[in-house]
Amino acid sequence: MKSIEEQLAIIKRGVVELISEDELAAKLKEGRPLRVKWGADPSAPDIHFGHSVILHKLRQFQDLGHRVIFVIGDFTARIGDPSGQSKTRKQLTPEEVEQNAQTYKEQVFKVLDKNATEVAYNHNWLSKLNMNEIFELLSKYTVSRMLERDDFMNRFEKERPISIHEFLYPLVQGYDSVEVKADVEVGGTDQKFNMLVGRELQRDYKGKSQVTLVMPQVVITMPLLEGTDGVQKMSKSLGNYIGVTEPPSEIYGKIMSISDTLMRRYYELLTEVPLGEVKAMHPKQAKQRLARTLVARFYSDQAAAAAEAEFESVFKEGKLPQEIELISLPKKEMNIVDLLAETKLAASRTDARRLIRQGGVSVNEQIVKDDKLSVNLSGERLIKVGKRKFLRIRHG
């Protein structure tokens, strides 16, 4: 078993804030498995590498002998987390939440150890609170405390509406920590306020049956991972993401395209590789190792080796990939912009036009120069976007 100092060194890697290290050390000295909470609202169906920063940290806790409590916010997702939002989020239907939750469970276990994870749905306790209990919870915070949040204050100053139910969100997320008896909570920097509320609520509810902890939860914030552009945070809507369920060759190719600076950041936040080793390697070799490591994590060593071989074949020798997906569309003819957006070869119609302007789109190996091009699908067409995306399309 690793010493307290060794555990702390592993846990602190890549962390933005640890509140507080002394309390975490004290909990580790108790010699019991800690209950490490991560809460996620299933507001979208897919998980990308940005989410896996936290998943990787949780897996480190598991490898040290601790237990992850994965709280699926099926109740809070209907409220909508206001963190980082300039306007009220669209509320999801129960059906949308449940569908996304099932996808989340499938994807997180690509990283987490299923045997060291408890999955809990927060509707199991939040939906049962009566009005007296809700009023007691609301009494724990004031409006002025809520307005300490930058996103709330910015909206207030700009006279943008803030719904009362959004004020409730940090309290009910914090109450999750009371219910699951969290020793530690891990989240992105944008979740710091919510996690600190959980820490305070554990103090407030101490002495009641729900809380038996000697110390409230330790809060660990992780950075928001930049996307493949190296500028903005990873986001599916920005088209700069790497999805954990993307094909191995796609993951490999996207990693090989990132900058050397971003590569080192991915190493720090997504792997166990000592940073000294990374610095000693040639940038290309380091990038290849990173790509192999991450493809192997989400698939297998064999898939990583195949992805690397295909990358070398396609990019060095100019060959087509051995396997290119073939899809059928109901229309016999489509505008190229609509085609790229509908098949997800581009993140949006705007992204499609940008790719065409940059000369990054070809049909049957002919570069597309006009975004008004109409593509006849009566015969099979090979669409290529950038250096890594290939798709065969036909009417059918």
Is 49 in the same domain as 121? Answer: yes
Task: Label residue 394 by pLDDT band (50, 70, 90).
Answer: confident
pLDDT at site 311: 87
- Residue 53 near residue 269 (C-beta atoms within 8 A): yes
Number of domains in the chain: 3
pLDDT at site 87: 43
Is 311 in the same domain as 180? Answer: no
At 76-90, the pLDDT tens digits run 877 655 544 444 445
The CA-to-CA distance between both ends of the chain, in Å, stands at: 59
CA atoms in the 13 A half-sphere facing the CB of 250: 18
Whether 236 is covered by a domain: the verdict is no
CA atoms in the 13 A half-sphere facing the CB of 245: 11
Is 299 in the same domain as 335? Answer: no
At 175-187, the pLDDT tens digits run 999 999 999 999 9
Tokens, residue 70: 């994965």
Q: Given the DSSP bridges, would you call strands 184-188 and 17-19 parallel, antiparallel or unpaired? A: unpaired
Whether 231 is covered by a domain: the verdict is no
Mean of the per-residue pLDDT values of the chain: 86
Tokens, residue 14: 């890549």
pLDDT at site 211: 54
At 20-59, the pLDDT tens digits run 999 999 999 999 999 999 998 876 667 889 889 999 999 9
Q: Per-residue pLDDT for 171 more than 70?
A: yes
Cis previous bond, 3, omega within 30: no
pLDDT at site 356: 92
> Which DSSP category does 226 fall into?
B
Burial class (CB in 10 A: 0-12, 13-18, 19+), 334: buried
Is 258 in the same domain as 330? Answer: no
Tokens, residue 215: 């110390």
Expressed as residue numbers, the domain containing 355 is: 326-395
Q: Per-residue pLDDT for 168 more than 60?
A: yes
- Residue 321 near residue 365 (C-beta atoms within 8 A): no
Is 167 in the same domain as 294? Answer: no
Whether 282 is covered by a domain: the verdict is yes
**Among candidate residues 316, 349, 375, the one where a domain is terminated:** 316
> In 10 A of CB 87, how many CB atoms?
10
Q: Where are the alpha helices (DSSP H) in the chain?
A: 4-12, 21-29, 49-63, 94-108, 123-126, 131-138, 143-146, 150-157, 164-180, 192-204, 248-256, 260-270, 275-280, 283-298, 301-316, 336-342, 349-357
Whether residue 344 is annotated as binding a ligand: the answer is no
pLDDT at site 59: 97
pLDDT at site 88: 44
Whether 240 is covered by a domain: the verdict is no
Is 300 in the same domain as 344? Answer: no
Is 353 in the same domain as 310? Answer: no
Is 262 in the same domain as 369? Answer: no
Q: Per-residue pLDDT for 198 more than 60?
A: yes
Lowest mean per-residue pLDDT among 146-155, 216-225, 262-271? 146-155
At 272-309, the pLDDT tens digits run 999 999 999 999 999 999 999 999 999 999 999 999 98
- Supply the pTM of this predicted model: 0.77
